[in-house]
Structure 1
């Protein structure tokens, strides 16, 4: 049996799909690896890869942008305290500073688990395994992303409480959100906010729908991993033991 397009269906004896291989090697997420393949940037054993139904076997030679790709290393995970003013991307067409330009030189090539937007700060998880990054981004992990959020405007506690039932903003449905007031002074307030989906600019859009302007957003936890006392711009590796204990089990 073949897949749509005439390519052979996956077979364990064929090896590993090339996009997954590149993700595990820390080159890019699986989705971005597929885009790179479409752009003709990936070479397998001397031939440009033309479709993602290409399989990699031990000893195969893979090049990305002319550079050899090493065998995927053991999976590693780091906590990073992202400052505001950095984009969570490997390259920006406008030349703005990025997270990956500011990382220590001795860090291997890594991808982020999800993103923090330009003006957001706090905990960003980094890994050398793009497949795992994608796995940890999915809401099915049940992991909560927790934030401290400073808002400007008059906070309505009843409206905050109602977010537990979810909310629709500009035809986008957001799942349950837990939001509570930590402190308030005049028109400024600090909130504790917890979400599980992490859609694009979710907190800012939801707060705006409540008539609140988000003036600072700090992620303090991603699932079991905490920002803690990690200083701005610092990176700390999570030990293999902790990683094995905390990663969600395959169902």
Structure 2
């Protein structure tokens, strides 16, 4: 193997996504041949001994791509400092070390992808690729035509303007609405904040698809391997 950047190496080892690997480096939790590294740009090869949190890590030989139906009450991370259940508790029978691609809020259920392929994770999470994510939500109230137009143009949330999104009303009884929301960003609690912004708070939220991968009839708490077609539908666009 030729030399590659440290953060990419850590991602290829299945420890974390490339972005998360950069955080680990900056936090002083990574060593190369016994030397703590805190700066980006270092490169490593298979001859180097890389440690994360004092434990040696090696590149995974078999790439794994998983679709999980995450229930409410699980953290989308490898571990949680407060001892809460994480999505890895649902894939304990997977031998390879995997990590979640992006995140799904603690109180949101639905489709979450996991992998040990850092390039695959980067492809799905980098904003420039604009991977569509579709949610179905139950909202308090009924979004007005003006609110739907605001969704389409972008909403001012906290300190940023969201990219154009789509909101479609599936059904409503005048007090509660079921809607389909499509975005291609993934900021923290973004869908919930957008719905709050238009005065229709979320009661229930589930992610039903990411790109060409759909939740389908996958039972809550269960997982499956992605098909070759699903994997390639992301990678072929690089």
When normalised by structure 1's length, the TM-score is 0.86
Question: In the alignment, which residue of structure 1 is the partner of 2:220?
Answer: 232
The yes-or-no answer on 1:61 pairing with 2:49 is yes
Per the alignment, residue 160 of structure 2 pairs with: 172
Matched residue SS, 2:91: coil
Distance 1:194 1:126 in 2: 21
Structure 1, unpaired ranges of 5+: 1-11
Counterpart check, 1:215 vs 2:203: yes
29 and 16 in structure 1: CA distance in 2 versus 1, 3 angstrom threshold: same
Q: CA deviation at 1:47?
A: 3.2
1:57-206 matches, cutoff 5 A: 57-206=45-194
Per the TM alignment, residue 194 of structure 1 is displaced from its structure 2 partner at its CA by: 0.5
Alpha carbons of 1:166 and 1:248: their partners in 2 closer, same or farther (altered >3 Å)? Answer: farther
Structure 1 runs of 4+ with >6 Å offset: none
Contact kept, 8 Å, 2:17 with 2:101, in 1: the verdict is: no
Q: What is the CA distance between 1:107 and its match in structure 2? A: 4.0
Distance 1:171 1:241, change over 3 A: closer
- Tell me: CA distance 1:128–1:213, structure 2 relative to 1, closer, same or farther (3 Å): same
Secondary structure, counterpart of 2:90 in structure 1? coil
Deviation at 1:57, TM superposition (A): 1.6
TM-aligned CA distance change 1:185 to 1:110, over 3 Å = same
Which secondary structure state, in structure 2, belongs to the residue aligned with residue 100 of structure 1?
helix
Distance 1:107 1:161, change over 3 A: farther
Q: Residues of 1 paired with 2:38 and 2:156: CA distance? A: 40
The unaligned stretches of length 5 or more in structure 2 are none
Q: How far is 1:74 from its partner?
A: 4.2
1:61-107 deviation digits (Å, cap 9, x = unpaired): 22223322122434331100000111112222222222123323334
State the distance in 2 between where 1:88 and 1:30 align: 16
Bigger-Rg structure (1/2): 1
On the 8 A contact 1:86/1:97 being kept in 2, the answer is yes
54-63 or 20-29, which deviates more: 54-63
Residue 111 to residue 179, structure 1, CA distance change in 2 (3 Å): same
Once residues 177 and 203 of structure 1 are traced to their aligned partners in structure 2, the CA distance between those partners, rounded to angstroms, is: 10
| Number of corresponding residues | 238
